[in-house]
Structure 1
Amino acid sequence: MSPYFQPTESIAGKAKSDEHILATIAGRFIGANPKHPPVYRIYSAEGFRREADYRYEMDFAQRWPELENGQFVYVWGKLWSDGEIEHPFSVSCYCPVRIMVNGTQQFASNLNDDVFPERSSYFRAKLSKGWNHIVMEFVATATGCGGKFGTGSIKGFPMHMLAPIADRDGQEGWVYSSPQSATWEVMPGSAEEKDWASSAVDKWYPRMAWTPEELNSGCFSRIYGEKPGQIAYAWTKLENRNPSVQRVRLIGVYQGQLTVYLNGTPVFEKHLTDGSLEMILAIPFGAHDLVACSTCEGSIWGVNLEIEHASTEEAAPVKRIPPYPVEGLTDGWLYAGPFSADNAPHPATITRMDAPLGSEDERTFWRADMPGAWVRPYLENAIYGKWNYPLGVTLYGILRTGQELGDPHYTNYAADHIEQCTTLFAYSRWDQAQYGSPGVNHQLTLIDSLDDCGSFGAAMLEAGKLRALDGAEAAAEHIAHYITREQSRLEDGTLYRTRGTTDFMKDTVWCDDLYMSTPFLSKYYELTGDAAYLDDAAKQFLRYKKLMFIPEQGIMHHVFDFKFSKGNGVPWGRGNGWVLFSLTELLAVMPSEHPERPELLAFFRELCLGYRRLQGMQGLWHQVLTDPESYAEASCTSMFIYAFARGVRFGWLEEAAPYVEAVLQGWEGLTRYAIDKNGNVYGVCRGSGYSFNKLYYKDQLSWQLNDTHGIGIVLLAGIETMKLRKHLSACSHF
């Protein structure tokens, strides 16, 4: 094999112990992916809705009823990229459409596109590091005006756009023009544009400002309308930067009954329907929640509070600041409501940003004092806080590393990542119902495959053994319901794919899906005690064996394709690794008296024998297991190490010695040839499709550096190697 790096760069030559190796790999990952929360942004409900396919719906025939055939409408937004990449896009056309990226045309519809609005066209465009400006030109015709536009990869790149104009800085969404009589010669975002685009039209939409009448109606009236007897809240913070307590005077006017709370304690209360207020507050050092709670008593309903400093110091020691960092917020206040008196949240509990506010039909979230302006969280981290199947494996490995090393730094990192997802689960479901597609947790919220839920869900249940995770119980129920009630199955109950992100996935069974389902089912059985989940997991292995096991070799096809009624004939390394890894997860929790256990143990032994025979000279297994000319693949190697070591420790393998040697050779091979001194992991196959052609796996399905499909399982392999060493040492003392 071609080496991934020079021998002197391997971690085997630098590390003092297996513990050192694990800490280096996990530490590198954590250092590269710090714990950043989601970014909260202002979103205009008067803009474009992003549907479940993560494309923005732009229908100008409805938005501009006066639009005439031949007129143009322009849409402009900006998209950030951390580096120079090719990004996939998708567009459906209601009319002739041109799309420009950074001033260069990247797509133009043809005659066919213009008359089939339900069809999607895909293209890739190069994005530069930094901000990239996307402009769409729509030409009104008798067929309509507008289209749908967004990501070409829902699972991989659920992108959102940001407003490109200075007065909307930080807000999510696009701006668009009124109907134009002629095409623009220069496009926004192009090198020639300079200041022209921001003044090219009289006004950019959606609107940003209230009308004079709305401004005079009071903040709650213009945001919520007239709601007699209902309650709304306004939330801001007072920050004292002086070490000593500061006294400040709060002055203002209000309409409707009003109570003001400082850190949950009432400091002002008036039952009059309107009036002025004045109060003196003692503010200690730091930031403090100020909440105004008002009941609507008439057509004008609102509150306006400002600080008038009692001190004559030149620099004001107490300032009003936004209650939470929200990009695009202009006045420092957030608003929630309206609520009926019986369902209104308590003012002391309303100051949170991770869940819908209120209950039942009144559930809502924060708004801003601008037309149609809502607050929404968006996950903008490449890794941290994301929910997907490779990260489920990664976090499982980091979690177990922390346990093995006795270091909460690692367990807390993994659990915190998982809990960021589960805490926002209830919000993301509300967000999806409100807006079409959520800004966070898109794969958990919009589950449509086992990939979306089983792997991360298993890591979530494992983390839940160490500490309670906010929202995890509801997320687990959601996943269990999907796997058992919604995922497509054959008549005998075999999990399979009736559809997929591409046509070739239709009517297939993938050995990967044993990992995407059975570890979660096994752990959910542990949690609930419901044997139906364990029985389902057991039956999946036996049914998959009938479809994909190659008995003469003791290994598995990657995929069984019902379109051809046969397996694809290629024993892909990681797919086979998932089978054996997942079988150990099931056997580890299965009671000894379970009726399927003898057959599953026999299957485990058959697989182990088949895989052991294919181990390479350097201790590593190959991308195509039967082709030693294919590259040495780290993730399948790790899974075979993991399973062999557990098989020896738990007594599942009757002849232990050959498997002990395979484990030790495999771990030595990983540390010498696939992990460098900085903890970088090489040789991990990227996310796969499938093919009947072996060369697809060998030549096209390349490896990637530090791919999340492999980091966690490499850690798990190291942990099981350490445990095996300790087990054998303990046994040798008797």
Structure 2
Amino acid sequence: MIRNILAALMLFPVFAFSQNQLAKPQNDATAPLHLMQPDYVTPYSVPTAVEITKVLDRVYNYLEATTPVQLIDASGADLSDFAKVNAQTKFKQGDFRLISYEWGVTYAGMLLASDATGDQKYADYTFKRLKFLADIRPSFLKLEQQNPEVRDAMYSVNHPHALDDAGAMCAAMIKAEQAKIGTDLNPMIDNFIDFICNKQQRFDDGTLSRNRPLPNSLWLDDLFMSVPALAQMGKYTGQTKYYDDAVKQVLQFSKRMFNYDKGLFMHGWIQEMPEHPQFHWARANGWGVMTMVELLEVLPTDYAGRDQVLDLLKRHIRGLANYQSPFGFWHQLIDKNDSYLETSATAIYTYAIARAINRGYIDEQVYGPMVCLAWNAVASKVTEKGQVEGTCVGTGMGFDPAFYYYRPINVFAAHGYGPVMLAGAEMIELLKKHFPKLNDSAIQFYKQEVKGNGAIFEAK
């Protein structure tokens, strides 16, 4: 019984805030009532670039220390001579894998952090690890040619069997190539993009699909596991066929999975189901909104379908804005405010919304306050050690609410780290280009400027 209560408290942090905490003004009898200061749970202020960079540094320092770039042999000894690679060779154990889709996001986040801060160490994190993968790949390919049955440490890179293996890593590698990594990633890039374009299962109309958990399933996650790689490949090669496929995926997924009334995507869609249960899982919606931002970043402004993608992005951001909690986070099931507050999705939304402001897709005055609050919420979940708290673990597709409500959270859920890097980097860019204000800032402006000039100002 006690264990169940403790688990509930962990999974539902929103209940930890009492009504008094939600509205606990300073009780100064001499101050006008409309100027009494709220007692916010999440810091209600515009962050500074210095503050954001400190958060990014904590995450960087933790990941640099806990994701080693090293192979080991069967005895656990370091293996530096790649000619000695065999079926027992493994990556040296760290807190996270170097070749997962989550780490594709992290590599991209580190590159963006370098762009935003001017600090090369972030990009070097990505360069060092991707160069390592390029250096060891020939030895593992040779091993696999000699023994086709082997499932070695690089098997998912050399023989991807799902979009999870290919898309995020491919997009990050193309970005690294364009950032002049200094090594040749093209063999891996070509292998990944070949899988996405030619080997992944599709519907008759070309929509990327899976046979899990049921035949002919669409996962919203798969937009991100495919479209950014296709978009980057279009820019990288100049071949418009990649843009065409990327736009098609967004529009055909949205035709089946976007709820225009709520402005949200459902997580899964099964072709043979007579009804399609709608569970608006937060991180899947994050993959969706980030996909559109990533596509618009490289899609030529006059390209066929671009206006439709941009319209969908605006609708989605508006839908997300309608469900932001007073703490700045979004809930695990976005439209279920008794589900727990989730960090990775909040970080992805922060990145996507900040970039949409920076690119002029949406209004800074409308969305600037909410994205500042969202970043402050995310920053509160980065520990002094640099671990990201409050992230839902990997999640399949479910058809009942309990499946999503009770997914565990853990600092070793890799999904939180790349989004935090992306969010922080884009927030720094926001501060360079715009002057976001929160509502209290506006009150202070009127107090100082309007009332100071002899006018009478009173909040109504």
Question: Which TM class, normalised by the smaller chain length?
Answer: 0.7 to 0.9
Structure 1 residue 21 and structure 2 residue 32: aligned? no
> Is 1:509 paired with 2:221?
no
Aligned to 2:419: 713
Which protein has greater RCO, CA pairs closer than 8 Å, 6+ apart? Answer: 2
Shift of 1:515: 0.5
Q: Is the 8 A contact 1:379 1:439 kept in 2?
A: no
C-alpha deviation, 1:410, in angstroms: 2.2
Alignment of 1:368-407 (within 5 A): 377-382=89-94, 386-407=98-119
Contact 1:550/1:557 (<8 A) preserved: yes
Q: Which residue of 1 aligns with 2:179?
A: 466
Structure 1 counterpart SS, 2:339: coil
Q: Does the 8 A contact of 1:366 with 1:375 survive in 2?
A: no
Aligned sequence identity (%): 25
1:213-292 aligned within 5 A = none
The residue number in structure 2 matching 1:449 is 162
User: Amino acid of the residue matched to residue 399 of structure 2?
Assistant: F
CA contact (8 A) 1:561 1:568 kept: no
Please tell me whether the aligned partners of residues 58 and 385 of structure 2 are also in contact (alpha carbons under 8 angstroms). Answer: yes
Residue 344 of structure 2 corresponds to residue 632 of structure 1: no
Query: How far does residue 9 in structure 1 lie from its aligned partner after superposition?
Result: 13
| CA RMSD between the two structures | 2.9
Q: Distance in 2 between matches of 1:543 and 1:712?
A: 27
Q: Quick one: structure 1 residues 576 and 14, their matched pair in 2 at CA, closer, same or farther if it must change by over 3 Å?
A: closer
Whole-angstrom CA distance in 1 between matches of 2:387 and 2:292: 28
Change (3 A) 1:414 1:542: same
Instruction: Name the counterpart of 1:97.
Output: none
Aligned to 2:330, what secondary structure does the other structure show? coil
Once the 2 structures are TM-superposed, how far is the Cα of residue 717 of structure 1 from its aligned partner?
0.8
Aligned to 1:33: 67
1:429 Cα deviation after fit: 2.5
Q: Name the counterpart of 1:202.
A: none
- Bigger fraction of residues in helix: 2
1:705 and 1:553, CA in 2 relative to 1: closer, same or farther beyond 3 A?
same
* Matching residue of 1:276: none
Q: How many residues align?
A: 400
Counterpart CA distance in 2 for 1:606 and 1:523 is: 24
Residue pair 1:558, 1:568 contacting (<8 A) in 2 also: no
In the superposition, relative to structure 1, how do residues 651 and 403 fare at CA in structure 2: closer, same or farther (>3 Å)?
closer
Aligned pairs for 1:590-629 within 5 A: 590-629=299-338
Aligned to 2:208: 495
Match of 1:2 among 2, 9, 13: 13
**1:27, 1:9 → 2: CA distance?**
25
Q: Which residue of 1 aligns with 2:429?
A: 723
Shift of 1:680: 2.1
Q: Which of 412, 431, 450 matches 2:124?
A: 412
Q: 1:14–1:677: 8 Å Cα contact kept in structure 2?
A: no
| C-alpha separation in 1, matches of 2:285 and 2:201 | 22
**SS of the residue aligned with 2:311?**
helix
Q: Retained in 1: the 8 A contact 2:66–2:95? A: no
Letter in 2 for 1:683: G
Is the Cα contact below 8 Å between 1:424 and 1:471 reproduced in 2? no
In 2, the alpha carbon distance for the partners of 1:439 and 1:711 equals: 26
Q: What letter corresponds to residue 407 of structure 1 in structure 2? A: D
Alignment map for 1:554-565 (pairs within 5 Å)? 554-565=263-274
Counterpart of 1:560 in 2: which secondary structure?
strand
SS of the residue 2:13 aligns to? coil
TM-score (norm 2): 0.80
Are the aligned partners of 2:218 and 2:268 in contact in 1 as well (CA < 8 Å)? Answer: yes
Deviation string, structure 1 residues 270-319 (Cα, Å, up to 9, x no partner): xxxxxxxxxxxxxxxxxxxxxxxxxxxxxxxxxxxxxxxxxxxxxxxxxx
The match for 1:687 among 363, 377, 394 is: 394
> 1:438, CA displacement in angstroms?
4.2
Matches of 2:325 and 2:422, distance apart in 1: 20
1:413 aligned counterpart, secondary structure: helix
Structure-2 change in CA distance of 1:366 and 1:2 (3 Å) = closer
* Alignment gaps of 5+ in structure 1: 42-161, 163-169, 172-323, 327-351, 355-364, 368-373
Q: Deviations over 1:682-704 (max 9, x none)?
A: 111110111110111011x1211
Q: For residues 401 and 102 of structure 2, what CA distance do their matches in structure 1 show?
A: 24
Give the 3-state SS of the residue equivalent to 2:218 in structure 1.
strand
Contact 2:105 2:168 in 1 (8 A): yes
Corresponding residue number in structure 2 for 1:704: 410
Structure 1 position 479 matched with structure 2 position 187? no
The separation in 2 between residues aligned to 1:4 and 1:578, in whole angstroms, is 27
Instruction: From the superposition, tell whether residues 568 and 415 of structure 1 become closer, same or farther in structure 2 (CA, over 3 Å).
Output: farther
**Structure 1 residues 469, 423: closer, same or farther in 2, change over 3 A?**
farther
2:135 matches 1:423: yes
Q: 1:695 to 1:709 in 2, by over 3 A?
A: same
Normalising by structure 1, what TM-score? 0.51
**How do residues 75-474 of structure 1 correspond to structure 2 at under 5 angstroms?**
170=75, 353-354=81-82, 377-382=89-94, 386-435=98-147, 436-468=149-181, 470-474=183-187
Q: Mark the runs of 5 or more structure 2 residues left unpaired by the alignment.
A: 1-11, 18-39, 437-460
Map residues 527-606 of structure 1 onto 2, 5 A cutoff: 527-606=236-315
SS in 2 for 1:709: helix
1:710 partner SS: helix
Answer whether contact 1:426 1:471 (CA < 8 A) is retained: no
Note the C-alpha offset of 1:384.
6.5
Q: What displacement does 1:415 show? A: 1.4
| Partners of 1:384 and 1:691 in 2: CA distance | 26
Q: Which residue of 1 aligns with 2:361?
A: 652
Amino acid at match of 2:408: S
